[in-house]
Amino acid sequence: MSSSSTESKMTLAKTLLSRVGSVAAIIMLVHTIIHNYIPRELHAYLFFGLKNMFTNFSNQLTMVIDEFDGLVNNEIYEAVTIYLGNKLSPHIRRLKISKPAKENNFNITMERNEEVIDVYNGQSFKWIWLCRQVESKHFYNPRDMDSAEKFVIRSFELTFHKKNKDLVLNSYLPYIMKEAILQKQDDQDSYCGWTIAMELDQKHMILKDLVRFMTRKEYYRKVGKAWKRGYLLIVPPGAGKSSLIVAMANF
């Protein structure tokens, strides 16, 4: 029984290796035909078609978030940049580091082509930051006015299971936008030297409430309510009510 089982496994292994070798040979043959007999101008179209064919059999979906929408900044791209700055994996191989002139802290971000795996609501999401340089005499990067003939296209690719598409659009990306706003506000507080002393949880609660209010103008209109938000502050004199109000107004 043991000898027969071993022989069966060996036969199966040989069959699999033979099929893998056949597939590899076919791939090499197709590559040679494409390289030698098909005009170079058609290579990109052909490989694009093959990529789409294999993508149709995948259960993964990829969303591309470009740095600019035409010549206008893409707010989602900027939010993702801030958000992923706090999500860097300890296993990441390359990092970018910078230090603005008037700030004390270092800014650490992911390097191009690096991957970051984020977990939200128990689901995994893979982020890749891509940069490619394009030569053109008609376009330029609005942030690099000296590069009239070459400009850099930057984008994030977000890959996840197709079943999570609604989760991404309705919950995950809005969550990233809000978290980026809070992080940016924390950085501004540190930079401006504000002296408001608050419990961190309470501060974040107020900031999240403000963000929620500012993003629900359409909801107020639909339900027929005035787009207003009130806060009742009951504290002793000198506790910082006015400073808090100014900070909220600036935010």
* Residue given tokens 């990829």 in the structure block: 62
> What pLDDT is stored for residue 168 in this prediction?
94
**Torsion angle in degrees (nearest 10) through CA of 97, 99, 104, 109:** -30
| 0.75 exceeded by pTM | no
> What pLDDT is stored for residue 147 in this prediction?
47
Low-confidence ranges of the chain (pLDDT < 50): 147-148, 193
> What pLDDT is stored for residue 207 in this prediction?
86
> What pLDDT is stored for residue 102 in this prediction?
63
> What pLDDT is stored for residue 157 in this prediction?
93
Q: How far is CA 200 from CA 61, 178, 234, in A?
A: 37, 16, 19
> What pLDDT is stored for residue 1 in this prediction?
52
> What pLDDT is stored for residue 192 in this prediction?
52
Residue 127 burial (C-beta neighbours within 10 Å; 0-12, 13-18, 19+): buried
Could you tell me if 107 and 85 are in contact, meaning their C-beta atoms sit under 8 angstroms apart?
yes
Reduced to 3 states (helix: H, G, I; strand: E, B; else coil), residue 82 is helix
